[in-house]
Chain A
Amino acid sequence: MRQIDAVVIGASAGGVEGLSVLLPALPATLRVPVFIVLHLPREHRSLLSEIFARKCALRVSEAEDKAPVGRGCVYFAPPDYHLLLDEGPRLALSVDEPVHFSRPSIDVLFESASELYRQHLLGIILTGASQDGADGLAAVREAGGITVVQQPNGTYESQMAAAALKLGPVDYVLPLDGIAGLIRSLPAIDLR
């Protein structure tokens, strides 16, 4: 059994649909924080957190710099900022240069979260069309965390999942309902 203290999710094209299935499936009793980077065209105000807040049992918000991380809270990286995690744990933002043309970047979130949560992190890559995320998922694996890639279903571009798989083995390749089931079983995962 592995104790999981946090979940990170990275998604790109097609990610909104994936998250629309995944996030509402999570129960109000979830005791771990969920951090999400979703690539979207740059805009100045994102309605993501408000849209998902209405559909979810969990508290969903846009990450604010230095805010303490709450259990069972879902945080979206704000558009045009990287989301990282600092001691506390607290949320941390940066406007450092984009990674793989992306800000927020999945790699930045995953690498930072795996430094903090080490083997107690669950990293999930949803479908998308980007290289961003592969290095991040590798960092989760190297820190001993658990890695999940959404099963490419042919509907959406699956370049992101393919890039992540190319960098090494992942613990699970699952469809969305399987990923939701895995998160629902937290804080402990019984690794097969």
Chain B
Amino acid sequence: MAGTIVDIELQLLIDAIYQKYHYDFRGYARASLKRRLALAATRFGCSTLSQLQHRVLHDAATFTQLLGYLTVPVSEMFRDPEHFRSVRQNVVPFLRTYPSLKVWIAGCSTGEEVYSVAILLREENLLQRTLIYATDINAHSLQIASTGIYEAARIPAFTDSHRKSGAPNSLSDYYTAAYGRAVFDKSFRKHIVFADHSLATDSVFAEVQLILCRNVLIYFNRELQDRAIGLFRDALCRKGFLCIGSKESIRFSSHASDFEAVDAEHRIFRKRDAP
């Protein structure tokens, strides 16, 4: 794949971004990154990635916009309801045994997954003793996440998924609808810390019992995946849980043997005791 002009331009662009803005996309999976950059170049009216590089280097506002193209996969609440159902069945009973809980949602984007987890924990009577760390590299996404406000048009799909996740209550118990938006209960915010954190460049910041990082690892190459999964292993307490996306795998990671499957189909793993 190396050697074409586009590949050279792509490499130069992500090096430039790293040197100027310290955002590290060097370990991102190339096929998706290439597609996103090509799309961004078109939207910025640039005919080549070199042109885009020029603009990004000389105009910080362009970079902020570009970051949006590079980092925001569309998220939704209770995506893959069966996954959350499995968390209720297979993970929650263990979480109940801890007097206090810390949960890390890595790559939380605009927060849909964060509120899903917070709601689930409230329904399981665990939220009052939980602190959720929700991290992302995109400050704008984190800002949206911290408001807990979503378009009302998205709520029916969220409601359906929430119900399918085995919820005892209705999603409408947790938000107020007004002016075409749904505002999630402010009380959730007391249990959530939103923070800037990069799986590519930052390190472990807390010991946690549960990590969710779903559909983030697909954007990383194997080396960066290894780094991220290594961070997860180090952040998890003994026998802590790791949830990844339903089509993601830790099989190809060098840390694969550090985890055992709790629910292989829904990609829920548990940290193994060190031998």
Q: Are A86 and B249 in contact (CB under 8 A)?
A: no
Q: Are A94 and B218 in contact (CB under 8 A)?
A: yes
The CA of A84 and the CA of B219, in the complex, are separated in Å by 11
Does residue A172 face the partner (Cβ distance < 8 Å to B)?
Answer: no
Interface residues, chain A, CB within 8 Å of chain B? 44-45, 62-67, 78, 81-82, 84-87, 92-97, 108, 111-112, 115-116
Q: Are A66 and B225 in contact (CB under 8 A)?
A: yes
Contacts of A82 in B (CB 8 A): 32
Beyond the given A82-B32, A84-B31, A94-B218, could you list 10 further A-B residue pairs with CB under 8 A, ordered by the A residue number?
A44-B80, A63-B247, A65-B217, A67-B252, A86-B221, A87-B1, A96-B32, A111-B35, A115-B4, A116-B1
Closest chain B CB from A2 CB (angstroms)? 20
Q: Are B35 and A96 in contact (CB under 8 A)?
A: yes
Type the 1/0 row for B159-191, where 1 means its CB is closer than 8 Å to any CB of A: 000000000000000000000000000000000
Contacts of B252 in A (CB 8 A): 66-67
- Give the residues from 215 to 246 in chain B that come closer than 8 angstroms, CB to CB, to chain A: 215, 217-219, 221-222, 225, 245
Max chain B CB contacts within 10 Å: which of A45, A65, A94?
A65
Q: Are B35 and A67 in contact (CB under 8 A)?
A: no
Write the chain A residue with the least CB distance to B253. A66
Which of B30, B74, B225, B247 meets A86, CB within 8 Å?
B30
12 A–B contacts from the bound complex (CB under 8 Å):
A63-B247, A64-B249, A65-B248, A67-B252, A84-B35, A86-B31, A93-B247, A94-B35, A95-B245, A96-B36, A116-B1, A116-B31
The CA of A66 and the CA of B223, in the complex, are separated in Å by 11
Interface size class of B (residues with CB under 8 A): 20 to 34
Closest chain A CB from B131 CB (angstroms)? 27
The CA of A115 and the CA of B7, in the complex, are separated in Å by 10
Q: Are A112 and B74 in contact (CB under 8 A)?
A: no
Q: Are A97 and B30 in contact (CB under 8 A)?
A: no
Contacts of A85 in B (CB 8 A): 31
A92-B73 contact, Cβ under 8 Å, with A65-B248, A111-B35: no
The CA of A111 and the CA of B247, in the complex, are separated in Å by 21
Does residue B82 face the partner (Cβ distance < 8 Å to A)?
Answer: yes
Q: Are B35 and A112 in contact (CB under 8 A)?
A: yes
Contacts of B4 in A (CB 8 A): 115
A64-B82 contact, Cβ under 8 Å, with A96-B36, A112-B31: no
The CA of A86 and the CA of B2, in the complex, are separated in Å by 11
The CA of A89 and the CA of B81, in the complex, are separated in Å by 32
Contacts of A93 in B (CB 8 A): 218, 247-248
The CA of A85 and the CA of B29, in the complex, are separated in Å by 10
The CA of A45 and the CA of B215, in the complex, are separated in Å by 16
The 6 closest A-B CB pairs, nearest first, are: A84-B31, A94-B32, A86-B31, A66-B252, A65-B218, A95-B73
A66-B222 contact, Cβ under 8 Å, with A81-B247, A84-B31: yes
Q: Are A78 and B30 in contact (CB under 8 A)?
A: no
Contacts of A78 in B (CB 8 A): 247
Does residue B34 face the partner (Cβ distance < 8 Å to A)?
Answer: yes
Type the 1/0 row for B34-50, where 1 means its CB is closer than 8 Å to any CB of A: 11100000000000000
Closest chain B CB from A44 CB (angstroms)? 6
Q: Are B30 and A87 in contact (CB under 8 A)?
A: yes
Which of A67, A84, A94, A96 meets B249, CB within 8 Å?
A67
The CA of A92 and the CA of B225, in the complex, are separated in Å by 13
Closest chain B CB from A19 CB (angstroms)? 21
Q: Are A94 and B73 in contact (CB under 8 A)?
A: yes
- Give the residues from 54 to 71 in chain B that come closer than 8 angstroms, CB to CB, to chain A: none
Contacts of A97 in B (CB 8 A): 74
Q: Are A66 and B249 in contact (CB under 8 A)?
A: yes
Contacts of B30 in A (CB 8 A): 86-87
The CA of A17 and the CA of B29, in the complex, are separated in Å by 34
Which of A62, A95, A108, A116 meets B74, CB within 8 Å?
A95
The CA of A81 and the CA of B219, in the complex, are separated in Å by 12
Closest chain B CB from A176 CB (angstroms)? 29
Closest chain B CB from A79 CB (angstroms)? 10
The CA of A63 and the CA of B249, in the complex, are separated in Å by 11
Contacts of B1 in A (CB 8 A): 86-87, 115-116
